[in-house]
Amino acid sequence: MFIPKRVIFEEKALEYKLGEKLLKDFKEKLNVEIMYSKNGRITGIPGRDDIQKYLEGKNTLVVGVRKTLKFESCKPSAHYQLPIVSGCMGMCEYCYLNTQMGKKPYIKIHVNTDEILNKAAQYIDERKPEITIFEGAATSDPIPVEPYSNALKECIEYFGKRDKAYFRFVTKYTDIDSLLPLNHNGKTTIRFSLNTDSVIKKFEHRTPNFNERLMAAKRVADSGYPIGLIIAPVFIYEDWQHEYYSILQDIHNSLSGYNIKFEVISHRFTKRAKENILNVFPKTMLPMDEEIRKFKFGQFGYGKYIYKDEDMTGLKEFFLNNISDLFGKESINYII
């Protein structure tokens, strides 16, 4: 669970019951600074340099109202992003949010989940009879702030009752027990992002270790949720095959018999991401040497550095063969 150092309330949020309740709760907590934003602009997060700004942002919770109810598309994995949370308490060095959230990457929850879900209903109706899939973690990891927002609970129960619509989100966090008894009706897929412990220790700061994530995935699977596992980002390093094989075996020992879907994503980076990462993590050990990568134009117009063909082929074969052997080929969604 995320314990912020400061909470900033948008004034508009205090017109909602949840906003009011959170203000009362946080006022009773010592060591939490409370600030207000009149116009929705978030100012007042301290920080002299980029590193401090990053750290202070990562320790700030904003309680706000989602004003724009136009959903962004979320291709190819879903149709729309469901904007319930933005930002994340995690400090993964490679995180895609590092290029999206500005210099002070605060975590924002919205108190108007009802209005967001009413809008989702419109999108669902517009697409009928086609199915519509909503992604709840496109710009966040929503689990650490769930005790404050209850947004996942509301969404899971909402989609559990709706036709022609599915919900999904991905997390690295393990405080999922409040979601286990919900009436999900098989309409929400919870995906866990996994990696080897050496990658987690080096690059995924403030996140649970592999075994904790695996145990959380098991509890979710035991509660009948469809689950997915994302092994990402995969790094090629000394002993990578041995370590990734070991986590596949652990997954097999804990989750064989469940219908798991795997997504495997090799490490990649853009020039812009590299610059931002070096600003905040100047001593990063992330492998970001352009010379030993292949440059590839992405679908959104900017280029990224992926592993070279021979490395990529080895990596793909490794996961294809081992996942197929342990779980069956049909359990692989994609390996990229």
Please say which residue, 121 or 285, places its beta carbon nearer to ligand SF4: 285
**Which residue in the set 92, 138, 194, 273 belongs to the binding site for ligand SF4 (CB under 6 A)?**
92
> By CB under 6 A, is residue 263 in contact with ligand SF4?
no
Q: Which residues are CB-neighbours of 252 under 8 A, at least 6 positions away?
A: 326, 327
**Which residue in the set 97, 133, 265, 326 belongs to the binding site for ligand SF4 (CB under 6 A)?**
97
- Beta-bridged to residue 335, according to DSSP, are 264
> By CB under 6 A, is residue 142 in contact with ligand SF4?
no
Total residues contacting ligand SF4 by CB under 6 A comes to 10
> By CB under 6 A, is residue 172 in contact with ligand SF4?
yes
Which stretch, 19-27, 74-82, 84-92, 245-253, contacts ligand SF4 (CB under 6 A)? Answer: 84-92
Backbone φ and ψ for 109, nearest 5 degrees, come out as -110, 155
Which stretch, 86-94, 146-154, 264-272, 277-285, contacts ligand SF4 (CB under 6 A)? Answer: 86-94
Q: For helices 271-280 and 50-58, what crossing angle results, to 10°? A: 90
> By CB under 6 A, is residue 57 in contact with ligand SF4?
no
**Which residue in the set 18, 62, 95, 152 belongs to the binding site for ligand SF4 (CB under 6 A)?**
95
Residue with tokens 């027990």: 177
Using DSSP, state whether 197 is helix, strand or coil: helix
> By CB under 6 A, is residue 45 in contact with ligand SF4?
no
| Shortest distance (Å) from residue 216 CB to ligand SF4 | 13
> By CB under 6 A, is residue 207 in contact with ligand SF4?
yes
Q: How many CB atoms lie within 10 A of CB 191?
A: 24
Distance CA 241, CA 31 (A): 45
| Shortest distance (Å) from residue 169 CB to ligand SF4 | 11
Using alpha carbons, select from 179, 169, 174 the residue that is nearest to residue 214: 174
| Shortest distance (Å) from residue 141 CB to ligand SF4 | 4
> By CB under 6 A, is residue 105 in contact with ligand SF4?
no
Distance CA 152, CA 169 (A): 9
Distance CA 104, CA 316 (A): 36
Distance CA 281, CA 20 (A): 37
Which residues contact ligand SF4 by CB under 6 A? 88, 90-92, 95, 97, 141, 172, 204, 207
